[in-house]
Amino acid sequence: MAGLPFSPRRPFSSPCFLLCFLLGFVAGLFPFAHRHLHLDPHLPLFPVPDGGGGSSPTTPPGPPAPPAPVQLHPPPPDHAPTLIVVTPTRARPLQAYYLHRLAHTLRLVRPPLLWLVVERGAATRDTAALLRGCGLMYRHLVAAPSQRGAGRRNAALDHVEQHRIHGIVYFADEDNVYSLDLFHQLRTIRSFGTWPVAMLGVGKSKALLEGPVCEDSRVIGWHTHATNRRTRRFHASASGFAFNSSMLWDADKRAHQAWNYIRMPDTAKHGFLETTFIEQLVEDETHMEGIPTGCSKIMNFNIHLEDKHLVYPKGWQMTENLDDQRHTTRLPIYRAAYASGRMKVTERDIFGISSQRKFIARHLEEVEEASHQPRHPEPPFSLAARI
């Protein structure tokens, strides 16, 4: 009987197998490639040129490149100057609306930007709370009460000069409308820049221009519409020019050295406040820069949309008198103030017009009757929410 064929298989060696397994496991824990090795995942999409004139095979197309992000305006260079936006404000019914609208516009501007909000009389809690939530770098300043905004603008200029804040100073009134291109153009100003401003005429039926007429960046004339202000030297509005802050304390930056203290004079005649201030910075149009090229764009609009019948009592505190607000058809703020007993409201304080005395007296009688009736609890009222 023939025996079983010989098997070439070697006997199993467990120590050798375990040794090889451990060596492979340990080797897998240590990467041998360079940790900073960069591999390009994209293949060239262009065909390799063939010197013999024959057809060259093209490489298969790779994955499509992601679309470039849309930019509202080009990014400023690394040495972009700081925009110092000065906004005078005061307590009135549409103050919260105006400040919110301007804050949303400034948030779209690339930093660095400093917002100087100057309040008349005293700093109110409502304005401070609004600024804390605006998401901007700001400083809340206070100026003494004045008839015009010269005192508040001068308080901001004092702050800039005292702290030597370098940048481009721009007076942005809260009730104007601004485009983002304006703030981009402000960073191109070297010393003093100006541009035309659009505004509504009497009756808000047509638009008017006030500002420079430019040839490239040279100012060669002025747009003007007010016949009683044609004797002004420079026909620029408060929101139609900007300047380098170093001109306030460095006389070498100015075209002439006739002034050592550059501020807006309170004694200037009505309509001549801006030109009197500009005369302290520049000597003539040759020291001005018209922006943009040719002054070909309207970048901000002076549109007063506030209702002339809106009233706001002196000393009214929105955060303290909200519980006295009443839902009435006419004059809700004055009814609440009169019924609360905290303020004394007279006919002259409300309108000051003799033709409406009967109308006011009738409403004051209704308030007097309502003050003797029991009050019902009402939900909290916010003036900003109603606006």
Global pTM? 0.63
pLDDT at 105: 96
Q: How far apart are CA 366 and CA 29, in angstroms?
A: 88
238: left (phi over 0), alpha (psi -120 to 50) or beta: alpha
Amino acid at 283: E
Report residue 39 as tokens: 């591999």
pLDDT at 338: 40
Catalytic residue chosen out of the listed positions 119, 210, 274, 285: 274
| Residues paired with 54 in a beta bridge | none
pLDDT at 252: 79
CB 143, CB 151: distance < 8 Å: yes
- Tell whether 175 is in a known binding site: yes
Averages of pLDDT over each 10 residues, the chain, 387 residues: 52 72 76 51 48 50 59 59 96 89 96 96 92 96 82 96 96 95 96 93 77 95 82 93 94 69 86 91 94 94 72 54 41 41 41 45 58 48 36
pLDDT at 205: 73
What are the structural domains of the chain?
Answer: 83-302 (3.90.550.10), 322-386 (no CATH)
Q: How far apart are CA 158 and CA 245, in angstroms?
A: 11
Reply yes or no on whether 274 is catalytic: yes
Report residue 336 as tokens: 């609440």
- Please give the distance of CA 247 from its chain centroid, rounded to a whole number: 23
pLDDT at 159: 97
pLDDT at 371: 53
Inter-CA distances, 253 with 101, 150, 256, Å = 34, 23, 9
Residue 44, number of CB atoms within 10 A of its CB: 10
Q: How far apart are CA 167 and CA 156, in angstroms?
A: 13
Q: What residue has token string 């549409």?
A: 94
Cβ-count burial 120-139 (b if 16+ within 10 Å, e if not): beeebebbeebbeebebebb
Spatial CA neighbour of 378 closest among 330, 323, 300? 323
Q: How far apart are CA 74 and CA 329, in angstroms?
A: 50
Report residue 200 as tokens: 């509504």
